[in-house]
């Protein structure tokens, strides 16, 4: 056993609050831009997963983020809904406007405390940062008694000053003190000692929290060290998304606490681990960030065995090389019996059994796509259905353009050419284009038909399941004059999947531009 270094109140028989920030810090990953419907869909899945606190966004960052946070606060049940805010009083009030309708709402106030951030970004001295902390936290407490405070770049902040700021925050009413390792500077034993120090030195009634970035690949290790030192909240992102190299991965922290419970005596968490794989797949599809094959817990190879010796071992007894039972994290690849003869009821029942809530136009669109694909593919797996539903969520109702048909010609001889027919408000738009390949030709034809230009900054094709009849799942990222969006498309044919992904990105660009015309406000990021 490693040394038990729990500080204040060494009672470990308590819960570690799982604070998910996929929709806030995770969405700050370069190129990710989720619209309100997509954020809502992920939030509902996070609630099914059983996270305790859901940081839904940074309401002052943009009108779109404000709307998304408010929609989540109004409809997602279960977790505490949290919004991030700078210490500015106007930001705090705006944050409350966004989260205040939730059954349980939290305001998360932050300000930078490291010399580097104070000098180069804030242009504030220590006295000013202390004053801003007191004012921001006190204002948040006027709205709610659940207030979190973070000294940004805590691990590069001189200890005495950090403690002073934290004490000021608690005295002003903060109930959670989060210690962000903003730039991934921490080393597990050092970070653990820091948490222990905070708990010993800062007086008052508060929960200590970790927020670890992964610049040195240590985010999960640092978070666990924090918990071992007595932190009772851990901030994490699904698939380890987040600024730069990301945040501690939710699935890794949860499964480490679960599988190595012997190292965390008495610690409890409330996550339903069987939902981990599905949550990971949904987040990957909607964000356009694929999960690396060998990613711990949720990667497609996390339970695959290649060498003969390993295969022999797991066939004899899975415990030889597997420390996690795949079923406990939802990695089953189960086949369902839906096919081309299945009707709306069977489809609706299956989605409900899978915990996917899809209604109205989104349901009709998903069902139509399901029938179309079932005609081409003999059987559809749970993962296929999730892909279809994910493709249809978000915006389909106000999609400016729909794909009516696509014809492509290509090969090793001659220039590939594509003819696309789109529908816009009942009108047919036709365009054809040549390209470097069939996918390029299809995207160019869509560009010509819609008039929306943009640069593809990322293009990723994967198969939803294994096998030669697997659905192709294409995720693209498009930059249209500074509007950065992702799009996805699913089909048995990768050229069609690519065209669908491109068109879904184009539709998002149109929606974002419409929204930008309605409200124009300054953009800020933490």
Closest distance of CB 305 from ligand KIV, Å: 37
3-class state of residue 265 by DSSP? coil
Closest distance of CB 84 from ligand KIV, Å: 6
**Extended beta strands in 220-302, E state:** 233-236
Q: How far apart are CA 98 and CA 84, in angstroms?
A: 10
Binding ligand KIV by CB under 6 A: which of 106, 211, 295, 511?
A: 211
3-class state of residue 484 by DSSP? strand
Question: Is the Cβ of residue 170 or residue 438 nearer to ligand KIV in the bound state?
Answer: 170
Q: How far apart are CA 125 and CA 119, in angstroms?
A: 8
Question: Rounded to an integer, what is the distance from CA 140 to the centroid of its chain?
Answer: 26
Closest distance of CB 243 from ligand KIV, Å: 7
Asked if residue 526 binds ligand KIV (CB under 6 A), the reply is: yes
What does DSSP say about strands 233-236 and 207-212: parallel, antiparallel, or unpaired? parallel
Count of residues interacting with ligand KIV (CB under 6 A): 10
Closest distance of CB 85 from ligand KIV, Å: 10
Question: Is the Cβ of residue 152 or residue 342 nearer to ligand KIV in the bound state?
Answer: 152
Question: Is the Cβ of residue 25 or residue 35 nearer to Zn ion in the bound state?
Answer: 25
Closest distance of CB 139 from Zn ion, Å: 22
Using the contact rule CB under 6 A, the part of the chain among 178-186, 373-381, 431-439, 488-496 near ligand KIV is 178-186
What does DSSP say about strands 147-152 and 105-112: parallel, antiparallel, or unpaired? parallel
Tell me phi and psi for residue 356, to 5 degrees: -100, 115
Judged by the rule CB under 5 A, the positions of this chain that interact with Zn ion are 25
Question: Is the Cβ of residue 29 or residue 504 nearer to Zn ion in the bound state?
Answer: 29
Q: What is the DSSP letter of 298?
A: T
Asked if residue 472 binds ligand KIV (CB under 6 A), the reply is: no
Q: Residue written as tokens 């409809």?
A: 75
Burial class (CB in 10 A: 0-12, 13-18, 19+), 266: exposed
Binding ligand KIV by CB under 6 A: which of 182, 214, 331, 350?
A: 182
Window 72-111: residues binding ligand KIV (CB under 6 A)? 110
Q: In angstroms, what CA-CA distances link 208 with 38, 187, 251?
A: 31, 18, 21
Question: Is the Cβ of residue 236 or residue 324 nearer to Zn ion in the bound state?
Answer: 236
Closest distance of CB 118 from ligand KIV, Å: 14
Asked if residue 152 binds ligand KIV (CB under 6 A), the reply is: yes
- Beta-carbon-side half-sphere exposure of residue 508 (alpha carbons within 13 Å): 32
3-class state of residue 76 by DSSP? coil
Closest distance of CB 117 from ligand KIV, Å: 9
Residues 6+ apart with CB under 8 A from 453: 447, 480, 481
Q: Which does 150 bind (CB under 5 to 8 A by kind): Zn ion, ligand KIV, none?
A: ligand KIV
Using the contact rule CB under 6 A, the part of the chain among 130-138, 177-185, 394-402, 410-418 near ligand KIV is 177-185
Binding ligand KIV by CB under 6 A: which of 33, 150, 477, 491?
A: 150
Structure tokens at 150: 């973070």
Q: Residue written as tokens 């990322």?
A: 458
Binding ligand KIV by CB under 6 A: which of 20, 25, 382, 392?
A: 25
Tell me phi and psi for residue 488, to 5 degrees: -140, 155
| CB of 182 closer than 8 Å to CB of 142 | no
Question: Is the Cβ of residue 25 or residue 473 nearer to Zn ion in the bound state?
Answer: 25
Closest distance of CB 95 from ligand KIV, Å: 12
Q: Which does 70 bind (CB under 5 to 8 A by kind): Zn ion, ligand KIV, none?
A: none
Binding ligand KIV by CB under 6 A: which of 57, 83, 180, 230?
A: 180
What does DSSP say about strands 176-181 and 147-152: parallel, antiparallel, or unpaired? parallel
Alpha helix (H) residue ranges in 100-158 = 115-117, 126-143
Q: In angstroms, what CA-CA distances link 404 with 416, 426, 452, 503?
A: 20, 11, 18, 11
Closest distance of CB 234 from ligand KIV, Å: 13
Closest distance of CB 24 from ligand KIV, Å: 8
Question: Is the Cβ of residue 207 or residue 236 nearer to Zn ion in the bound state?
Answer: 236
Using the contact rule CB under 6 A, the part of the chain among 116-124, 174-182, 502-510, 516-524 near ligand KIV is 174-182
**Closest residue to Zn ion: CB criterion:** 25
- Beta-carbon-side half-sphere exposure of residue 164 (alpha carbons within 13 Å): 14
Using the contact rule CB under 6 A, the part of the chain among 90-98, 176-184, 270-278, 487-495 near ligand KIV is 176-184
Nearest Cα to 68, choosing from 87, 105, 41? 41
| CB of 263 closer than 8 Å to CB of 228 | yes
Question: Is the Cβ of residue 239 or residue 331 nearer to Zn ion in the bound state?
Answer: 239
Question: Is the Cβ of residue 211 or residue 369 nearer to ligand KIV in the bound state?
Answer: 211
| Binding-site ranges for ligand KIV (CB under 6 A) | 25, 110, 150, 152, 178, 180, 182, 211, 213, 526
């Amino acid at each position: 056993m490693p040394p038990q270094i729990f500080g204040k109140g060494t009672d470990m028989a308590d819960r570690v609050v799982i604070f998910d920030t996929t929709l806030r810090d995770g969405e700050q990953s370069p190129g990710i831009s989720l619209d309100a419907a997509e954020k809502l869909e992920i939030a509902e899945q996070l609630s099914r997963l059983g996270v305790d606190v859901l940081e839904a966004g940074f309401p002052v960052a943009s009108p779109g983020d404000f709307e998304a946070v408010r929609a989540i606060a109004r409809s997602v049940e279960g977790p505490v809904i949290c919004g991030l805010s700078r210490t500015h009083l106007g930001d705090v009030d705006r944050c409350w406007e966004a989260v205040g309708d939730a059954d349980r709402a939290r305001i998360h106030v932050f300000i930078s405390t490291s010399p580097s951030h104070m000098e180069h970004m804030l242009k504030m001295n220590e006295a000013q940062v202390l004053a801003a902390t007191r004012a921001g936290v006190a204002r948040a407490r006027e709205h709610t008694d659940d207030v979190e405070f973070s000294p940004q770049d805590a691990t590069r902040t001189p200890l005495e000053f950090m403690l002073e700021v934290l004490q000021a925050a608690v005295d002003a009413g903060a109930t959670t003190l989060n210690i962000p390792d903003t730039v991934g500077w921490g080393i597990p034993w050092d970070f653990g000692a820091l948490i222990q120090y905070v708990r010993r030195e800062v007086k008052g009634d508060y929960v200590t929290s970790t927020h670890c970035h992964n610049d040195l690949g240590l985010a999960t290790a640092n978070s666990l060290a924090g918990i071992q030192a007595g932190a009772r909240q851990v901030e994490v992102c699904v698939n380890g998304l987040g600024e730069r190299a990301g945040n501690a991965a939710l699935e890794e922290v949860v499964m480490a606490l679960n599988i190595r419970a012997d190292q965390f005596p008495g610690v409890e968490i409330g996550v339903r681990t069987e939902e981990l794989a599905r949550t990971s797949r949904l987040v990957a599809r909607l964000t356009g960030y694929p999960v690396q094959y060998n990613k711990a817990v949720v990667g497609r190879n996390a339970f695959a065995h290649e060498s003969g010796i390993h295969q022999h071992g797991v066939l004899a007894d899975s415990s030889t090389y597997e420390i996690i039972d795949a079923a406990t994290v939802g990695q089953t690849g189960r086949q369902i019996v839906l096919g081309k003869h299945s009707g709306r009821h069977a489809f609706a029942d299956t989605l409900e059994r899978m915990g996917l809530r899809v209604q109205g136009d989104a349901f009709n669109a998903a069902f139509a796509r399901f029938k179309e694909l079932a005609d081409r593919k003999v059987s559809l797996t749970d993962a296929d259905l999730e892909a279809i539903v994910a493709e249809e969520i978000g915006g389909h109702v106000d999609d400016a353009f729909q794909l009516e048909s696509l014809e492509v010609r290509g090969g090793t001889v001659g220039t590939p050419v594509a003819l696309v027919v789109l529908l816009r408000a009942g009108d047919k738009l036709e365009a054809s284009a040549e390209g470097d390949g069939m996918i390029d030709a299809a995207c160019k034809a869509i560009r010509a038909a819609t008039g929306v230009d943009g640069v593809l900054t990322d293009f990723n094709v994967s198969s939803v399941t294994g096998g030669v009849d697997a659905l192709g799942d294409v995720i693209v990222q498009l930059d249209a004059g500074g509007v950065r969006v992702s799009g996805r498309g699913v089909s048995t044919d990768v050229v069609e999947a690519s065209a669908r992904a491109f068109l879904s990105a184009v539709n998002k660009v149109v929606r974002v531009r419409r929204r930008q015309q309605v409200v124009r406000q300054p953009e800020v990021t933490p």
